Amino acid sequence: MSRLTWLLLLTLNLVATSEARNNIPAVIVFGDSSVDSGNNNVIATVLKSNFKPYGRDFEGGRPTGRFCNGRVPPDFIAEALGIKRTIPDRRVVACYIFQNVIPLWKELEFYKEFQAKLRAHVGVEKANYIIGEALYLMSLGTNDFLENYYVFPTRRLHYTVSQYEDFLLDIADNFIRKLYALGVRKLAITGLVPVGCLPLERATNVLGHHGCNQEYNNVALSFNKKLDNVISKLNRGLPGFMAMSANAYSIVNDIITRPSAYGYEVVEKACCSTGTFEMSYLCSDKNPLTCTDANKYVFWDAFHPTEKTNRIVSDYLIPKVLATFR
């Protein structure tokens, strides 16, 4: 996504925020593919999702770059706040993706440029209001573990799991403090879900008879506990700052443990293709194995939830978000 488009998305959103609830004029998202609303379409990522069957249950049945058959959690949160039904869709938020493609220091540089352009466009006072009152969503950890720590042996040679958790959280702590210095005051942070139960991890867990990888789930629980401590420390140490833990582990774990209670029929495999390892380009619209009804599945592809799951998780988190950021 170009820097000009970042500016365009947020400033156009100002037209639509008069009915926004809780005095939140915008939602700004920092995260990975689980919360991306389509910015991977225009940055140099290896994996894309701007083709069918991705987006087949989105408005108009169009692929948007969301790694889902429909909407992702920020869409539901923005809608609940009265901002817009989908992100960014010309009017809503700026969305930054921090993976290996764009390092965090570069994210901050882009964000500083965005703020400068916003102030030039709407004036300092209004821009400062938007920056300070916007809700910032951050999702972290999943790619760092599943696509980094457990993939590259060098990481495991240099860090124990606990040390790697601390390493990631130190980076996140520093990043958040720099955002605070730039005026950010409202932040909801999501850590890890039961990543050991993703279809991809089940498929590769041969010795565990393709059940959930409990080691990975234990890491998720440990990481989330440490993340909560970081959030508490930030809230105590930064005047006027309010961060909340948008911990989705328990709700996703309940869905996986009791799928029939939520109307699901399949939890161990995804809707796309064989449902074991396919994502991105391997999720072809031509594949006859792709399911016809994604609502019966917890996962859309081997790594990402279906829209139904995203909605259930969002419905679980939204009351907490609304209660925190009144």
Q: Active-site residue 57, yes or no?
A: no
Q: Exactly one of 34, 37, 301, 314 is catalytic; name it.
A: 301
Tokens 């009791």 sit at which residue?
A: 258
Q: Exactly one of 75, 245, 304, 314 is catalytic; name it.
A: 304
Tokens 């539901």 sit at which residue?
A: 76
Residues 21/323, Cβ–Cβ less than 8 Å: no
Give the amino acid at 214: Q
If one counts every other C-beta atom within 10 angstroms of the C-beta of residue 219, the result is: 23
Residues 252/194, Cβ–Cβ less than 8 Å: yes
Residues 200/270, Cβ–Cβ less than 8 Å: no
If one counts every other C-beta atom within 10 angstroms of the C-beta of residue 111, the result is: 21
Give the amino acid at 191: G
Q: Exactly one of 33, 34, 280, 314 is catalytic; name it.
A: 33
CA nearest to 148, candidates 91, 98, 81, 187: 98
* Strand pairing class (186-190; 135-139): parallel
Q: What is d(CA 311, CA 318) in angstroms, rounded to the nearest whole number?
A: 10
Q: Active-site residue 250, yes or no?
A: no
- 46-54 long-range Cβ contacts below 8 angstroms, 24+ apart: 47/279, 47/280, 47/281, 48/280, 48/281, 49/280, 49/283, 51/285, 52/285, 53/272, 53/283, 53/284, 53/285, 53/290, 54/283
Q: Active-site residue 33, yes or no?
A: yes
What are the residue numbers of the active site? Answer: 33, 301, 304
